[in-house]
């Protein structure tokens, strides 16, 4: 039996999980004082504060992590890399510490994992960080030279769902073609071809279906006119793309349950907007099927909003002609972190070495 401690830092809290093999014996969301977090100049400066808060939570629960075989953290701030479980080597640690590509609290995951691993003589890992990019070349090209599509999706949960779905079918993830839809605050619809996420929508840059908090793909000329209207600052436009778009902009809420209540009350505009979001998800499922030439073994719905029967029924009616629909609602990020570490510990998977070299660095013209 292997004990594994998983760490997933968020904006104002850190999720922690203690596992014995794949059995979770602690799953907690440790809150941090937002006012205290504001006092730190950089995200990495929060390290000691978050570490001490985590240790306090463990002490309160009466749990010991000194005998853990591995510590695994959510990654962030890394260069683009292929999927898998990575040992936290010097290059990965340094990139996470400075936020080499983006600044996000997930950067603290590798730092905390390495600290605990060195303290207790264990392994330190990162599993399918947000920086995973396995796109095929043609999926990157846009109509503007110099503007390219990159992979910004729910990589950790998407990969774990693919592995679990394949195992339930008695197959390997690497032998299947799947379309996985993560439907939550952000929505990613991804083509998984033989173990690689070859295409998807960009959940951070304004692409794909509209989502509870994000605008999705909208006409560029209209965006241009809004940007130069003088009504909004750059930050306000950015927020409309990533935080206050979608259901929030139309209906004033990101909670699909509240939208469902509006529909139940007979509010036709709420129904139109929610149906439009579902319709857009279905359209992107169709595009991902085309990306795999129609050879799709299954469509999987995951994420918190996949609990909604109304959404599931409408999507099933729309896209089940492509492949069978399976619902694996919720998020499995903590389980995914532990499972990735466990696969390496038991020898099912070999840990990868982070090179610090992006898997894609642009196209060269002939």
Q: What is the pLDDT of residues 186-236, one digit of tens each?
A: 999 999 999 999 999 999 889 999 999 999 999 999 999 999 999 999 999
Are residues 327 and 344 both part of a single domain?
A: no
Are residues 29 and 105 both part of a single domain?
A: yes
Contact predicate 164/186, CB 8 Å = no
- What 3-state class would DSSP assign to 301? strand
pLDDT higher than 90, residue 366: no
**Predicted TM-score of the model (pTM):** 0.94
Mean predicted confidence (pLDDT) in 69-83: 96
pLDDT in tens, 32-54: 998 999 999 999 999 999 999 99
- Rounded Cα distance, 260 and 246, in Å: 15
Contact predicate 336/15, CB 8 Å = no
Cα dist from 52 to 29, 31, 104, 125, whole Å: 14, 12, 20, 20
Is 358 domain-assigned? no
Q: Quick one: DSSP state of residue 80?
A: P
Which of 365, 347, 354, 280 is CA-nearest to residue 82? 354
Mean predicted confidence (pLDDT) in 112-118: 98
CB count in 10 Å sphere of residue 364: 5
Kind and range of the H or E run holding 26: strand 23-31
CATH of residue 21's domain is 3.30.420.40
Is 160 domain-assigned? no
Q: Sheet containing 123-127: which strands, arranged edge to edge?
A: 23-31, 13-20, 3-9, 70-73, 123-127, 85-87, 352-353
Supply the range of the domain harboring residue 56.
Answer: 3-132+334-353
pLDDT in the model for residue 181: 98
Longest dimension (CA), the chain: 63
pLDDT in the model for residue 291: 98
Are residues 176 and 272 both part of a single domain?
A: yes
């Amino acid at each position: 039996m292997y004990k594994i401690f998983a760490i997933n830092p968020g904006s104002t809290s850190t999720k922690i999980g203690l596992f014995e093999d794949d059995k979770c014996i602690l799953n907690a969301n440790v809150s941090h004082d937002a006012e205290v977090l504001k006092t730190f100049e950089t995200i990495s400066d929060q390290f000691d504060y978050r570490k001490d808060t985590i240790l306090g939570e463990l002490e309160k629960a009466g749990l010991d992590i000194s005998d853990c075989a591995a510590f695994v953290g959510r990654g962030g701030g890394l260069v683009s890399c292929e999927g898998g479980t990575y040992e936290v080597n010097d290059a990965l640690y340094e990139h996470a510490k400075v936020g080499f590509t983006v600044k996000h609290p997930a950067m603290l995951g590798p730092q905390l994992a390495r600290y605990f691993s060195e303290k207790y003589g264990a392994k330190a890992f990162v599993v399918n960080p947000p920086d995973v990019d396995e796109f095929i070349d043609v999926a990157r090209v846009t109509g503007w030279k110099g503007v390219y599509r990159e992979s910004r999706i729910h990589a950790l949960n998407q990969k774990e769902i693919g592995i679990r779905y394949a195992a339930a079918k008695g197959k390997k993830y690497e032998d299947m073609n799947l379309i996985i839809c993560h439907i939550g605050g952000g929505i990613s619809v991804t083509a998984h071809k033989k173990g690689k996420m070859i295409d998807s929508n960009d959940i951070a840059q304004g692409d794909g279906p509209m989502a509870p908090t994000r605008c999705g793909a909208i006409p560029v000329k209209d965006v241009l006119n809004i940007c130069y209207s003088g009504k909004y600052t750059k930050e306000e436009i950015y927020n409309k793309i990533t935080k206050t778009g979608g259901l929030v902009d139309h209906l004033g809420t990101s909670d699909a349950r509240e939208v469902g209540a509006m529909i139940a009350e007979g509010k036709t505009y709420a129904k139109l907007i929610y149906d439009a979001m579902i319709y857009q998800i279905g359209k992107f499922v169709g595009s991902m099927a085309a990306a795999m030439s129609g050879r799709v073994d299954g469509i999987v719905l995951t994420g918190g909003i996949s609990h909604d029967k109304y959404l599931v029924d409408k999507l099933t009616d729309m896209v089940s002609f492509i492949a069978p629909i399976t619902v694996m609602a919720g998020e499995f990020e903590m389980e995914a972190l532990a499972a990735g570490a466990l696969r390496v510990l038991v020898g099912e998977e070999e840990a990868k070495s982070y090179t610090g070299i992006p898997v894609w660095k642009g196209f060269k013209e002939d």
